[in-house]
A and B are shown apart, each in its own frame.
Chain A
Amino acid sequence: GENVEQHPSTLSVQEGDSAVIKCTYSDSASNYFPWYKQELGKRPQLIIDIRSNVGEKKDQRIAVTLNKTAKHFSLHITETQPEDSAVYFCAASNYQLIWGAGTKLIIKP
C-alpha cells in the first residue's frame, strides 16, 4: 500500500543550529504535503504545507522543500529554539492523508 517514510526518528540539535527532517512518499499522485507539530501532551497543529505545483515554501524560520521526481520532501528549521522541541509529523495526500511515523526533535541548550 501507500506509505510515507520519515527520518530520523529522533533528532537532537544544539539551540541555534538548523534541523532537517526528511520524508519519502510512494504514491506519485500525491499532491499535498503538510507538516504537523505535536508538543508533549498537546494536539497536533499544522505548521506548514506545500502543494505539488510548488518546489519550496518558507514561513519565518521554517521551510519545506519538495522534490517530485525523487518523491521526497523535507522540513527545515533554522535558528532552533527550545520551543521547537516537539514531535513533527509529515504526511502526503492524493485523496487520503498518509502519515509518517514522526520525528522527535530535541533542542539542547
Chain B
Amino acid sequence: DGGITQSPKYLFRKEGQNVTLSCEQNLNHDAMYWYRQDPGQGLRLIYYSQIVNDFQKGDIAEGYSVSREKKESFPLTVTSAQKNPTAFYLCASSFGTTGIYTGELFFGEGSRLTVL
C-alpha cells in the first residue's frame, strides 16, 4: 500500500525540549516537503528536499531542522528555538524535481504537536 506515513499522530512536548517528527514515503518520489498548518491560515513551507542529502529552507525554517539521508525519509526536528511550535505538521512528497512543484503533492495524515 503506497503512500506517506507520518508519526506520531499526536505529540506533547514540554518547553525547552526538541522533538522529531517522522515522515516516510514508499512512492519513490524525489521531492519531499514539510508544512505547518495553523487555524485560518494556508499551508506554510518549512523545508523541502529535492534529492537525497540536499534540502532548502522554506518560508518559516527558523527553529526547525531536517535531514534527508535516504530517499524515503525526511524527518523534521522542532527545536527549542521555535517560539510557537504548537501546530499541525504535514509532510508531503511529489514526483518531480525540475521545479519544486511540478505536479500533485501527496500528503501524510499529519502530526499534531502541542507544547505544554
Interface residue? B72 (CB, 8 A): no
Residues of A that sit less than 8 Å from B by CB: 4, 6, 9, 32, 34, 36, 42-46, 49, 89, 91, 93, 95-102
8 contacts between A and B (CB under 8 A): A42-B109, A43-B110, A44-B43, A44-B90, A44-B107, A91-B43, A98-B42, A99-B44
User: A25 → chain B, closest Cβ, in Å?
Assistant: 12
Task: Give the contact stretch, choosing among B14-22, B61-69, B78-86, B98-106.
Answer: B98-106
Contact B40 A46 (CB under 8 A): no
For chain B, the bracket of interface size reads 10 to 19
Pick from A42, A49, A89, A93: contact of B43, CB below 8 A. Answer: A89
A42 to B41, CA, bound (A): 16
- The secondary structure that dominates the A interface is strand
A76 to B41, CA, bound (A): 21
> Which 3 residue pairs across A and B have the least CB separation, nearest first?
A99-B42, A43-B107, A93-B101
A3 to B90, CA, bound (A): 20
Contact A101 B104 (CB under 8 A): no
A91 cross-chain contacts in B, Cβ below 8 A: 42-43
Interface residue? B75 (CB, 8 A): no
Contact B101 A43 (CB under 8 A): no
Q: Say yes or no: A34-B100 contact (C-beta < 8 A), given A44-B90, A101-B42.
A: no
B44 cross-chain contacts in A, Cβ below 8 A: 99
> Interface 1/0s, chain B 45-61, versus A by CB < 8 A?
10000000000001000
Contact A43 B43 (CB under 8 A): no
Contact B101 A45 (CB under 8 A): no
Given contacts A95-B101, A96-B100, A99-B42, 10 further A-B contacts (CB under 8 A): A9-B40, A43-B109, A44-B43, A93-B99, A93-B101, A95-B99, A97-B45, A101-B40, A102-B41, A102-B42
